[in-house]
Structure formats: C-alpha cells, structure tokens
Amino acid sequence: MFCFRRALVALLVLPLFGASALAAEKKISRYVRFQAGDTVGYGIVQGDRVRRIAGDLFASHVPTGQTHALADVKLLAPTVPTKILAAAGNYQSHLGAQSKHPDPELFFKPPSCLIGDGDTIVLPKGSNVVHHEAELVIVIGRRAKNVPVDKALDYVFGVTCGNDVSARDWQKNDVQWWRAKGTDTFGPCGPSIVAGIDYDDLLLTCRVNGVVRQQQRTSDLVHGVAAMVSFASRFVTLEAGDLIFTGTPGKTTDIKPGDVVEVELEGVGVLKNPVAAAE
C-alpha cells in the first residue's frame, strides 16, 4: 500500500513540477475530490500536498490553510454529477469500417457506476465479456443550455481520465445499454481534474497489467470537446460537475479478475483500478 501511494503521488506531482514554469504561464490547475478521515472535500494540488478549498468548486471558493499529504488521503471520483453522458463511436479507429456519425451519438451512464482511483472494477455475474474503454472525460463547470460551439469551452471546468467499462455480451444482446455500460463500478474516473490544458490534443493510453492496449491522441476525436458540449446542451441542461465521456479509440480487449487497468491522459495523470469477480 505504501509503495502504491507513493507511486500515485509521483504520477500526480511529477507533471506539475516538470513543467512548473509552463504551468504557471498557462494557469494550469489540478483539483481533486478526496477523503481525509471522515471528511470529504475538494482541494487543489500543490506539489505533494492537497490544499482544501472552502466554498463551491464550480463557483465561489477560496483555499484554506488546511493541507494534507497526497499520500495520506483517499482520492474519490472527482465530482458528484447529476448526470453522465458518454459517446459511442467517436474515433474512426474504433468505428472501423463504419461511417462516422454526423452528430455525437450519446447515451447515459448512471452516477451510481462511478468509482475513483484505486477502487475495484467488479465483473458482474452473468456477463462473460467485459472490456476496458479508455476515455477523456469532460467536466462541466456551470449550467449549460443551448450553448453555441464557439462558446462551449467557457462551460468546461476541466478534464479527467475515465474508463467506460462495457459488458460486450449485454451490449450486443440487450435492447438498452443500462447494464452493459451502467453496472456498479463500470465508471472509473479520476484521479484529478485538470484545467488550462489543450483538451483536444492529449495522448490517451490504456494499459492492462502494464501492457499498452490502446493509445491515440484526442486530436483524432470525430467530435471534439466543444462540439460535444454544445450538442448535448441542446437537448439536456448540463449542470456543474456533470461528466461527458468522449469515446474510446482503437480496439478494446477483455479484462479478467486479477488484472490492473490504467488509463493515462497526458497532463492529467493515471487512473488505476484493479479488477475482481463479483462474489
């Protein structure tokens, strides 16, 4: 556990120190939702510590004098969303021979599927083919309704890593995807929210047991961040803290009990989750 926590701190901190001057110039900010003892709160990452903030992360807030070592806190799913939207077929490499969709093809994942960094993906009984899907996840920063594309990034608070875990046999055979995509633990997300980077040109990587299974830049998204936010806001009101999974690249593969799945997003960090079978 000690080594794991130290590794987690390194993954969150090294990108911050390695480009400290650039981060200051671009005003890059890194936020986490965390638990320290019995207290849950939001904080901003400063070096190897997290400073608790007071107020609303998505509105008026101020840093407090209370800090914790990142190694000593439990990182949680980064928001408590009212809704989660997710994109189907948003990289041509995943679509294969299928034609790309003229508009983003979105579906809902229930907030109850969310888990944080280090939490376990539980493979449910009754499904025999469960896949990883590494994705960039948009974090909405304020209420958005009928937002034009050229204003859409004003409504984005930042981005985080996500894994749209998918039971392929249920996805293929069920009428709806409610359990194929929304089963408990099928929404790993985290470890942090990062604002101030170029969301549309980040390297996205998935590793299973250290072996790269997916890798592509978000510049290859069929529908980019602004387009997705704008399109979704035409039909549902997006609230601060809501999440949009933006789709997965390439080919996905199955995951098994005992595996460890990592989703890494350039400039954001690594989301790491072990896999276990349901008891």
Can 2-75 and 84-277 be said to share one CATH topology? no
**CATH 3.40.50.2300, applies to 84-277:** no
Q: How far apart are CA 119 and CA 78, in angstroms?
A: 13
Backbone angles phi, psi at 277, to 5 degrees: -85, 150
pLDDT at 224 over 70: yes
Instruction: Pick one of 3.40.1400.10, 1.20.1250.20, 2.40.110.10, 2.30.30.370 as the CATH number of 2-75.
Output: 2.30.30.370
Q: What is the pLDDT of residues 66-103, one digit of tens each?
A: 999 999 999 999 999 999 999 999 999 988 878 788 99
pLDDT at 175 over 50: yes
Which are the contacts of 206, defined by CB distance < 8 A and separation ≥ 6? 132, 133, 134, 163, 212, 213, 214, 215, 261, 262, 263, 264
Going by their DSSP bridges, the two strands 187-195 and 114-115 should be labelled as: parallel
Mean pLDDT across 20-33: 69
pTM value is 0.90
Q: How far apart are CA 223 and CA 233, in angstroms?
A: 14
**Residue-range domain boundaries for the chain:** 2-75, 84-277
Write the burial class of residue 220 (CB in 10 Å: 0-12 exposed, 13-18 middle, 19+ buried).
Answer: middle
Q: What is the pLDDT of residues 4-15, one digit of tens each?
A: 444 444 445 444
Q: Give the pLDDT band (50/70/90) at residue 26.
A: low
pLDDT at 180 over 60: yes
Q: How far apart are CA 225 and CA 245, in angstroms?
A: 10
